[in-house]
Structure 1
């Protein structure tokens, strides 16, 4: 039997494909029209529209698929009701009432549709368990009392946000909430802490996350060297209190097989750019893309990475 990967943007689809290839497991990559997917090594590929999802489900059965996994960032597509086929009409009738609600409600309905169609829905962390770090401090520096207090406050805030199905992250400094995550995501939230002129993609601190790779040492040394203030002090809005943490966790009761929170090198670089002291994640609830690179960057930039139990 095979696994169907419903792929969005970002690195996660490629990591799922790599994990499956390492086990010799066949993957059918399903990519929505208009979504740019990066998944080198994927074998079978199917393009689809939400208006033809029912037909796609039948094709997956024909190809021997018994499990599905969702990986990568997706935006809610616009619907062209004139293109809805007969197999998909009942599905859209179920989805339309929850489209106006939060992401978790919509994702739960999608999971239910696939399970009722006879598929097992699995999480990215089940296919690639190495993405979930264990409880503990990942960096050389550990949390002090102030950082621990901010993390406890962050956990309370994200729990309250999750109850309203809003977001999965916040920034807290000295017990004060500086920002909360919404639909645009974590990177957008972190950039909102910057002075306006530092928020664009031309800022060298922001594009550094995409440049590290084999140049990790040189780039990170430059970022943390004497010519660049530690934690990007020049980028943070001076109206905000200094320091603080990014706290990220799933929503309470969240369907963890789909849309599990993620951090990666960009998160670390942006955290440094806005002057954070650390990044704290809930144990068992947040995946880390390219953990060695994240830890190396955090160590060089003076951030704490803490998986809080």
Structure 2
């Protein structure tokens, strides 16, 4: 049996829409799904009891999908089943995003639960290789994508972000803790004539079972507002939400959406 730990945003609902059997929907307090009704809501301070509850219900697999920010822990709420996990949880909250996710996955797997990626249980979330739009990238656009891939590799060593924008070989902006939408918003006041590509890919050594980067219709709007000419993503590494609409919006607005091979 599968349990989905759902955060905010469109991804949890889209994952469920691709499944033949509805999973048990779970949510952490403070991060209730936008479009799904949670069967179980738990505080992080009761993580141990939550895991025991899942196993008692016959759950053997877990998928994590959606946005969850780092919560504040109230020591007075920690229950006895969670107390042994506190050192790992505290270390995770002080680590970078990928390190924190690895710690959470480790806790789940040590109890015998198998953690599965969203794109593993719903493979249609990942688009195929090549250009998906009527507008095609130029050689300069592809060169900017190569440059962006190198920048992301460097960012990945510091566990920083999963996106950047590059124009004429120069980095315009890189993603921080505030996310892609904020990053694109910061380009709306750029002083040049526009142009460049948004590039998105996982961190080089990222555990792809959680927090795989995503784009959606809002990303297209943000790229246009930022004055960019297209979006490049890594094959097998970026989820496209509402893919049909994303392609339609790119075609309507004259952007390209290109899926490139994973960089070496």
TM-score bin (small chain): over 0.9
- For the aligned residue pairs, the C-alpha RMSD in angstroms reads 1.2
- Structure 2 runs not aligned, ≥5 long: none
State yes or no: 1:265 paired with 2:264: no
State yes or no: 1:301 paired with 2:253: yes
Counterpart Cα distance in 2 of 1:268 and 1:243:
14
Decide which of 146, 149, 168 is 2:143's aligned counterpart: 149
Aligned length: 261
- Structure 1 runs not aligned, ≥5 long: 196-236
Correspondence for 2:168: 174
Counterpart Cα distance in 1 of 2:207 and 2:3:
19
Calculate the TM-score normalised by the size of structure 1.
0.82
Counterpart Cα distance in 1 of 2:194 and 2:14:
35
Large movers: runs of 4+ above 3 Å:
none
Larger Rg: 1
Counterpart Cα distance in 2 of 1:126 and 1:291:
17
How big is each residue's C-alpha offset from its partner over 1:183-221, in whole Å with a ceiling of 9 and x where there is no partner? 1100000001123xxxxxxxxxxxxxxxxxxxxxxxxxx
Please state which structure has a larger fraction of its residues in helix.
Answer: 1
Counterpart secondary structure, 2:41: strand
Counterpart Cα distance in 2 of 1:182 and 1:80:
27
Q: CA deviation at 1:38?
A: 2.6
Counterpart Cα distance in 2 of 1:61 and 1:36:
22
Counterpart Cα distance in 2 of 1:63 and 1:19:
23
Q: CA deviation at 1:57?
A: 0.3
Contact 2:188 2:227 in 1 (8 A): no
Q: CA deviation at 1:26?
A: 4.0
Contact 2:233 2:258 in 1 (8 A): yes
Calculate the TM-score normalised by the size of structure 2.
0.96
Counterpart Cα distance in 2 of 1:300 and 1:17:
28
Counterpart Cα distance in 2 of 1:32 and 1:244:
38
- In the TM superposition, 1:134-145 aligns within 5 A as 134-145=128-139
Counterpart Cα distance in 1 of 2:47 and 2:216:
31
Contact 2:6 2:32 in 1 (8 A): no
